[in-house]
């Protein structure tokens, strides 16, 4: 998959740290956090057919933007990335497509429970690769979920028990 960087990547920046109880901890610089918040907001509202997700590399002081290629969204990203480093990577699916599948799976939790598949967590992968589902009935889920939802958007099944709420003593 293709990737490129914005103009702001030309200036090397040292990672920022704050002191924590356990020692120095990397943090996201305020200017990068502001740009990434704007990219997410505008990506979701004005470029939903392109925006897939974000990640932050605090050590490299850069934001990674995953998107389905779009000339207009790319122009927006180039304009936003003049003073901060944005690495733009191709995504297979946009966030809206992933959220649609995620919502279908969540709406069907009762169906899956009745079928003997206890699903604990359903979420979109931030890189646009697909939707992730956690269950201990991995083989059944890997077989049955694509039958119900198709194979256009991959469903990644992770072997994990459903979350349990903490109880106070």
State pLDDT tens for residues 123-169: 999 999 999 999 999 999 999 999 999 999 999 999 998 888 888 76
Segment 110-132 shows an average pLDDT of: 98
Cβ contact 89:66 at 8 Å: yes
Segment 93-118 shows an average pLDDT of: 98
Please tell me the distance from the alpha carbon of residue 84 to that of residue 61, in angstroms, as a whole number: 8
Parse the chain into domains and list their residue ranges. 3-90, 95-159
**Which residue from 56, 54, 59, 55 is spatially nearest to 26, judged by alpha carbons?**
59
User: How much of the chain exceeds pLDDT 90, in percent?
Assistant: 92
14-23, 34-43, 47-56, 101-110: range with lowest mean pLDDT: 14-23
Place of tokens 């998959």: 1
pTM comes to: 0.91
Task: Encode pLDDT of 23-49 as tens digits.
Answer: 999 999 999 999 999 999 999 999 999
């Amino acid at each position: 998959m293709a990737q490129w960087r914005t103009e702001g990547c030309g200036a090397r920046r040292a990672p920022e740290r704050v002191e924590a109880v356990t020692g120095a901890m990397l943090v996201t610089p305020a200017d990068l956090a502001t740009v990434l918040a704007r990219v997410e907001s505008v990506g979701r509202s004005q470029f939903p057919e392109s925006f897939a997700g974000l990640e932050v590399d605090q050590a490299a002081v850069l934001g990674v933007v995953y998107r389905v290629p779009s000339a207009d969204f790319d122009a927006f990203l180039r304009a936003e990335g003049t003073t901060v480093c944005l690495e733009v990577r191709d995504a297979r699916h946009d966030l809206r497509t992933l959220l649609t599948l995620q919502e279908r799976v969540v709406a069907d939790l009762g169906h899956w429970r009745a079928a003997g598949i206890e699903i604990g967590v359903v979420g979109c992968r931030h890189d646009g690769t697909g939707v992730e589902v956690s269950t201990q009935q991995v083989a059944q889920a890997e077989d049955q979920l694509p039958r119900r939802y198709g194979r256009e958007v991959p469903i990644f099944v992770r072997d994990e028990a459903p979350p349990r709420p903490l109880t106070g003593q």
